[in-house]
C-alpha cells in the first residue's frame, strides 16, 4: 500500500483514533465505499492510518441497479483505491425491488447482505461504513419525528454484529464538511448521490430543511444531537445490563419461546417495561425491524392491565402473547395441536400406563379391575370436554387454573370420551376406583407453567 498524507487535520483525528481502536492488529477490513464524500474520505483516511501496514484494507462497492451513472461512480472508487494501493471489488444486486415498502430500506438490507458475503469471501472480519456526525443527527431527529424511546435516541451505534462480521463506523464523530475539506485539500473528488436531493424522502427534508433551521436557531445543533445519541447509548447499555442481569427472561419448552414473568415487570419501574419488551422480542427475532413505538406501548398497556390475549398483531415472524401481566414471545407459529392419544397398557399387577409422546406425558393408573381403565386415554383437550361427573366445561378449568392461551392445546388430560378424569395440577382423579400419578418428560410443554405439580 502506498503512503497516504503525512498529516491528519485536527477535525479528523478522532476518526483516525477510532480506526486504531476498533480494528485489531492483523485484521482484514472491508471499507464500504460508494463514491460519496463520506466514504471516499474514510478510504483516504484509512489508507493514511495504515500506510505502514497493521491491517489489510479492501474496498466493497455495491451497485443496487437503481440509477444511471453508476459506472462513473465505480470508476471514481476504483481509480482512487488503486492510487492508494487498495484492492477494490464491485458487487451487483440481483434481487428485484419488492412491491410496496421502503426502497431505501430494501437497498440498505441488500447492501449489507452483499457486503457481508464479500467480507466473508475476503476473510474480512469487519465492514467499515462511513456514517458521520451529520448522519447521527439526522437519525436522531427522524426517530423523534416518528416516535421513539431510549433506543431511538441512541442513534447509530459505533459498532454492531451483523451475521458473521462486525460493522464498525469510525467516522461517526466527524462532520461531513470536515471530510470534504480534507478531500479537497488532497485533491480527491467524489460523486453526489442524486437521491440526496429527492424531497420525497423524509431524511432528505430533515437534512436540507429541518437541520439548517435548527442550526440557525442554535448553531452547532448537529454536535449536540450526536452527543445526545452517545449519552443515550451509554444509558441504554447500562439499563440493558440491569435488565439482563436480573435474568428476566425464562426459556420455554413450547416452540423455543421465552417468557418475561409478571413479577419481573413489577420489579422494575413502569418506564423500564418497554426495555424489557424490546429485549424479549429482540432475543427471539434477532432484531426489532418494522416494530414501532405504538407496538411496544400497546403491549405495555396490556401488561399493566393484566389482560389475557390471543396472538398480538406485530410485524415479522415473532408471535407475542400477553397473559395476566406476563409476556410470551415465540419465534414463529406455534406447533399444531397434537392429535391422537395414548391408551393404557399393563405395567405390573394392578398398574397401567397410558403414554402420549406428543405431550411428553404418562398417566400411571392403579386400579383393581381393567374395566375401570380400558376406556381411558391420554390426549390433548377437545371441543366439548367437561369434567367427569359434572357439566363444568374443561375450558373453564384451564382459565381458572391460569393456563396461558398458547398452552391450552398442550395440556395433557386423562379422558373417557368427553369426560376429563384427570389433568396434572388441575384435576385430581375424578373416579374413586382408580388412582392416578402423572409423569412428564423434561421437554413436556406443560412444565413451562408455574405451579406445583400434583396428582
Which of 277, 304, 330 delimits the end of a domain?
330
Q: Are residues 168 and 63 in the same domain?
A: yes
Question: Do the domain assignments include residue 214?
Answer: yes
DSSP code of 423?
A: B
* Minimum mean pLDDT range among 81-85, 163-167, 239-243, 418-422: 239-243
Q: Are residues 178 and 312 in the same domain?
A: no
Q: Are residues 260 and 390 in the same domain?
A: no
Domain count, the chain: 3
| C-alpha span between 362 and 30 (Å, rounded) | 57
Each residue's pLDDT tens digit, 334-354? 999 999 999 999 988 899 999
What's the average model confidence in pLDDT over 370-398? Answer: 94
Q: Is the pLDDT of residue 454 over 70?
A: no
Question: Do the domain assignments include residue 411?
Answer: yes
Which of 272, 303, 330 delimits the end of a domain?
330
Question: Do the domain assignments include residue 288?
Answer: yes
Q: Which domain holds residue 204?
A: 10-229
Top pLDDT among 152 and 325 is at: 325
| C-alpha span between 350 and 327 (Å, rounded) | 44
Question: Do the domain assignments include residue 306?
Answer: yes
| C-alpha span between 139 and 373 (Å, rounded) | 68
Which of 171, 198, 229 delimits the end of a domain?
229
Q: Are residues 323 and 349 in the same domain?
A: no
Q: Are residues 188 and 224 in the same domain?
A: yes
Helices (H), ranges, 2-96: 10-22, 37-49, 70-84
> What CATH number is given to the structural domain containing 217?
3.40.50.620
Question: Do the domain assignments include residue 238?
Answer: no
Nearby residues of 415 by Cβ (< 8 Å), 6 or more positions away? 376, 377, 378, 379, 385, 421
Q: What is the pLDDT of residue 7?
A: 67
| C-alpha span between 375 and 46 (Å, rounded) | 78
Q: Are residues 308 and 354 in the same domain?
A: no
Q: Are residues 177 and 42 in the same domain?
A: yes
User: Cα–chain-centroid distance for residue 55?
Assistant: 31
| C-alpha span between 306 and 403 (Å, rounded) | 14
Write the DSSP string, 309-333.
-S-B--SSS-EEEEETTEEEEESSP
For 112, the grid coordinates are: 449489507
> What CATH number is given to the structural domain containing 275?
3.30.465.60
Q: Are residues 313 and 394 in the same domain?
A: no
The residue among 67, 66, 120, 110 whose CA lies nearest residue 89 is 120
Q: Are residues 209 and 278 in the same domain?
A: no
The residue to which cell 427471539 is assigned: 284
Question: Do the domain assignments include residue 241?
Answer: no
Each residue's pLDDT tens digit, 119-175? 999 999 999 999 999 999 999 999 999 878 888 899 999 999 999 999 999 999 999
Q: Are residues 264 and 323 in the same domain?
A: yes
Q: Are residues 165 and 40 in the same domain?
A: yes
Amino acid at each position: 500500500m502506498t503512503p497516504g498524507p503525512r498529516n491528519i487535520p485536527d477535525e479528523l483525528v478522532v476518526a483516525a483514533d477510532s480506526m486504531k481502536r476498533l480494528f485489531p492488529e492483523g485484521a482484514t477490513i472491508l471499507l464500504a465505499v460508494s463514491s460519496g464524500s463520506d466514504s471516499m474520505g474514510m478510504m483516504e483516511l484509512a489508507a493514511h492510518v495504515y500506510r505502514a501496514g497493521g491491517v489489510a484494507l479492501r474496498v466493497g462497492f455495491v451497485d443496487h441497479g437503481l440509477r444511471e451513472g453508476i459506472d462513473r461512480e465505480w470508476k471514481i472508487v476504483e481509480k482512487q483505491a488503486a492510487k492508494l494501493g487498495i484492492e477494490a471489488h464491485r458487487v451487483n444486486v440481483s434481487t428485484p425491488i419488492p412491491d410496496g415498502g421502503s426502497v431505501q430500506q430494501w437497498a440498505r438490507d441488500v447492501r449489507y447482505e452483499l457486503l457481508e458475503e464479500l467480507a466473508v469471501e475476503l476473510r474480512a472480519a469487519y465492514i467499515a461504513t462511513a456514517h458521520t456526525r451529520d448522519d447521527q443527527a439526522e437519525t436522531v431527529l427522524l426517530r423523534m419525528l416518528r416516535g421513539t424511546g431510549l433506543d431511538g435516541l441512541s442513534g447509530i451505534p459505533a459498532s454492531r454484529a451483523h451475521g458473521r462480521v462486525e460493522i464498525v463506523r469510525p467516522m461517526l464523530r466527524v462532520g461531513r464538511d470536515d471530510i470534504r475539506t480534507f478531500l479537497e485539500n488532497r485533491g480527491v473528488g467524489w460523486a453526489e448521490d442524486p437521491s440526496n436531493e429527492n424531497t420525497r424522502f423524509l431524511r432528505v427534508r430533515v437534512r436540507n430543511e429541518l437541520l439548517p433551521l435548527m442550526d440557525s436557531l442554535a448553531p452547532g445543533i448537529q454536535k449536540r444531537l450526536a452527543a445526545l445519541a452517545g449519552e443515550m447509548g451509554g444509558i441504554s447499555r447500562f439499563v440493558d445490563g440491569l435488565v439482563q442481569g436480573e435474568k428476566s427472561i425464562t426459556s420455554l419448552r413450547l416452540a423455543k419461546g421465552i417468557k418475561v414473568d409478571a413479577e419481573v415487570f413489577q420489579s422494575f419501574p413502569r418506564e423500564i417495561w418497554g426495555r424489557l419488551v424490546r429485549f424479549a422480542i429482540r432475543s427471539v427475532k434477532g432484531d426489532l425491524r418494522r416494530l414501532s413505538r405504538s407496538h411496544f406501548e400497546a403491549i405495555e398497556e396490556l401488561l399493566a392491565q393484566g389482560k389475557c390475549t390471543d396472538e398480538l398483531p406485530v410485524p415479522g415472524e415473532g408471535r407475542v402473547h400477553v397473559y395476566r401481566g406476563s409476556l410470551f414471545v415465540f419465534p414463529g407459529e406455534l406447533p399444531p395441536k397434537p392429535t391422537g392419544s395414548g391408551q393404557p397398557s399393563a405395567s405390573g399387577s394392578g398398574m397401567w400406563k397410558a403414554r402420549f409422546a406428543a405431550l411428553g406425558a404418562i398417566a400411571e393408573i392403579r386400579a383393581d379391575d381393567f374395566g375401570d381403565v380400558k376406556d381411558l386415554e391420554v390426549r390433548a383437550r377437545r371441543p366439548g370436554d367437561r369434567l367427569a361427573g359434572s357439566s363444568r366445561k374443561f375450558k373453564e378449568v384451564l382459565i381458572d387454573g391460569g393456563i396461558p392461551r398458547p398452552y391450552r392445546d398442550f395440556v395433557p388430560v386423562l379422558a373417557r370420551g368427553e369426560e376429563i378424569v384427570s389433568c396434572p395440577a388441575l384435576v385430581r382423579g375424578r373416579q374413586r376406583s382408580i388412582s392416578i400419578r402423572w409423569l412428564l418428560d423434561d421437554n413436556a410443554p406443560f412444565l413451562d407453567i408455574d405451579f406445583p405439580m400434583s396428582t
